A and B are shown apart, each in its own frame.
Chain A
Amino acid sequence: MNMQLDMRLSRIIELAPGIREFWLCREDGGELPTYSGGSHVVLSLPLPGGIQRNPYSLLGDPADCNKWRIAVRRQEQSRGGSVWLHDSAQEGQALKVSMPANLFPMARLGRHHVLIAGGIGVTPMLSHARELARLGESFEVHYAHRAPEFGVLADELRTLAGPDLHCYVESRGETIDFSKLLARRPLGTHAYLCGPQGMVEAYHRIASEMGWPDTHVHSERFLAPPPGAPFTVRLAKTGKAIEVRREQSMLEAIESSGVQPPFLCRGGACGQCEMEVLDCDSSLLHNDLFLSQADRDSGRKIMPCVSRVTGGCITVNL
């Protein structure tokens, strides 16, 4: 179902305190498929407690068939994948990696493209900028980061965007003012943002207030599955009962039992891993960006990559 490539970490580069870039090569030395700007891959990280699968945007040159590049920020408050990549991963480490998928594509009918990055959200913008530069399209980049040393990859962006790269350094009091940035844009302009939750919400709210059509306001945000109380998931078709630990996602627990449900983004965005809920003796905790309010109200659907229940037992049609 989900094709996995056997790869290894061929290079690790310290970009800034808490930000590392990784190069991925195929174990067999073979060529990698090319990909479109905005694509991500899912890394299977061999954590001590079991495999954790996390999505990361590809930031390199899609035409480079020898390596894929990702950058990872160390997230202390998460489930350990980024901490493992920072503290334990060594060059030469073998990893399973998915084929690229794109949930954040460039709008090819766009006449002008405004790329906006907050912090580590710069990674998909690099691949977009590269694609737009190759096609000779009109674009500009706005890159906000905490302090000068965190402006990683700005030099690379500058070679693509030239004077159309604008950096905003928070420690100097510089921030992106969306009501200015999104004002007086000609028809056919598309905006793209990847950044922290508050930034994504402000951007969508202001764009909507200014009358931007939803189809022209793009964003990408991968959610990490939040930890929660342990519970049991029962698979109706086999009767199998699986314990989901505190820091584990429901999808990871099902996978560790040997069942392979389909998945794509593992960040609550794509809808591929949707499961039908047959029974639940506690409450559903929806953390995804995919299900509609009506779906949530029905209590019949759950996205097991990021969502869980408050305890007890949930039975899914699997």
Chain B
Amino acid sequence: MGIAFRDETFRDTFTYRNSDEGIRRFPFPFGLDQYMYSVNIEPHTAGKPDSVYQYAFDIDEHYIAECRDRAITLEKDPGRCISLPHMMDSEWDVLELIMTSLSRDYPEHFALHRDGEQWTWTNRPLGIEQAFVFGNAQTLPYPPFEYITRQTQGDFVIMDHRDGDLWADAGMITSQADWSLAFDVGMSFKEWHGPVPRAHEIGVFDRALKYLLMLQLGNPVRRLNWTMTVNPRLDTAPETYPDWGPDRTSVTLDNVAEKVHLRVELQALFRLPRSNGILFSIRCYMASVGDLARYPKWARRLHRVLRDLPQDLAEYKGLVRYKPAVVEWLSRLDDGVPVPPGTDPE
């Protein structure tokens, strides 16, 4: 059975909505009533059927609309996709990984035919049929990394592994939580995580880097990260701050449930075979506070996490101005009963 793709927008009219099923499978990130940074990495192995963890790259009801929104952003600012010249092997690695994964996991929507270096890619939702020569970038309408990530939900960074460090040397970034690829490209692992408060002091990045340098082919890993966004807008980049920054002042107790969205990133890391690089995929999920609160367990837990969130983390995540409204609205749904550990909705 195929996915019923929604016709919706992530800007201007903001017609983005989740179906009931979309809310049920939302990757709610809080297993406990308190949130703190940790190296919360686990193997990216096949999760439960119908969960966002079922496949390496999750495709859902927002697929066509997200690809359309990415194309709009790239049209306005082609610099959201950058790849340094030494990254061509890793570009092909990523194209191969995504095409083989999608065609295996969603055969009703994607197909890949390989005859030696002669490949044919079929993307039915976007109406694409492309014959090309693997390894020959001239045979594709875009460079291989841009070509395939224009057809995949989520942002992507490719890290080059050299000198005992990981360098952010390529990226396709159009649905980011307020960070700039143009600023970060070429940086080392600790440089591009520089602004994160607290985590450096508790050694999170030392341990994460050491772990990632050992990442093995065939054993990808994943973690969740989160923030909040006013209106379901994918493109919250520093470059477009004037477009979305002021939205933060528009939140009231009356509109908070519809306007404020929990934004969760399913981040996965894959060792790449030819280049020995690492693909970092950042798949963004958004759900309105009102939709999440339809599950009493999530309403209580989200209230407690936000109420007790340390101020510096709230500032870093850009929540300070509207967090009080969210906490007040959620407090009406929190009767204080203990919530069992775990992230499941029920």
Contact = CB atoms under 8 A, between A and B. Distances in A.
Interface string A1-32: 11100000000000000000000000000000
B276 A102 contact: yes
B46 interface: no
Interface stretch (A33-41, A151-159, A161-169): A33-41
B214 A34 contact: no
A284 interface: no
Q: Which of B89, B161, B276 has the most CB of A within 10 A?
A: B276
B24 to A, nearest CB: 32
A199 interface: no
A154 B160 CA distance: 31
A109 interface: yes
A241 interface: no
B86 A109 contact: yes
B216 interface: yes
Interface in B80-100: 86-87, 89
Contact of B216 (A3, A62, A107): A3
Contact of A34 (B161, B216, B274): B274
A291 interface: no
Nearest to B96: A34
Interface stretch (A81-89, A179-187, A245-253, A264-272): A264-272
Contacts of B89: 108, 135
Interface in A178-215: 215
A215 B297 CA distance: 52
A36 B273 contact: yes
Contact of A215 (B86, B160, B163, B275): B163
Interface string B156-168: 0000111100000
Contacts of A101: 216-217
Q: For the complex, would chain A's binding face be called helix, strand, loop or mixed by DSSP majority? A: loop
B276 A105 contact: yes
Contacts of A304: none
A33 B217 contact: yes
Contacts of B210: 271
Given A36-B275, A36-B276, A62-B274, A105 B216 contact: no
A108 B162 contact: yes
Interface in B162-180: 162-163
A38 to B, nearest CB: 8
A100 interface: yes
Nearest to A108: B86
Given A109-B86, A215-B163, A2 B273 contact: no
Nearest to B217: A99
Contacts of A272: 214
A264 B274 CA distance: 18
Contact of A109 (B162, B219, B273, B274): B162
B214 to A, nearest CB: 5
Contacts of B217: 33, 35, 99-101
29 contacts: A1-B219, A2-B216, A3-B216, A3-B218, A3-B219, A33-B217, A33-B273, A35-B217, A36-B273, A39-B276, A62-B274, A99-B216, A99-B219, A100-B217, A100-B273, A101-B217, A105-B162, A105-B276, A107-B162, A108-B86, A108-B89, A109-B86, A109-B162, A264-B214, A264-B216, A270-B214, A271-B210, A271-B214, A272-B214
Interface of A: 1-3, 33-36, 38-39, 62, 99-102, 105, 107-109, 135, 215, 264, 270-272
**In the A-B complex, the 4 residue pairs with the closest CB atoms:** A36-B276, A108-B86, A34-B273, A105-B276
Given A3-B216, A135-B89, 17 more contacts: A2-B216, A34-B274, A35-B217, A36-B275, A36-B276, A39-B276, A99-B217, A99-B219, A100-B217, A102-B276, A105-B161, A105-B276, A107-B162, A108-B160, A108-B162, A264-B216, A272-B214
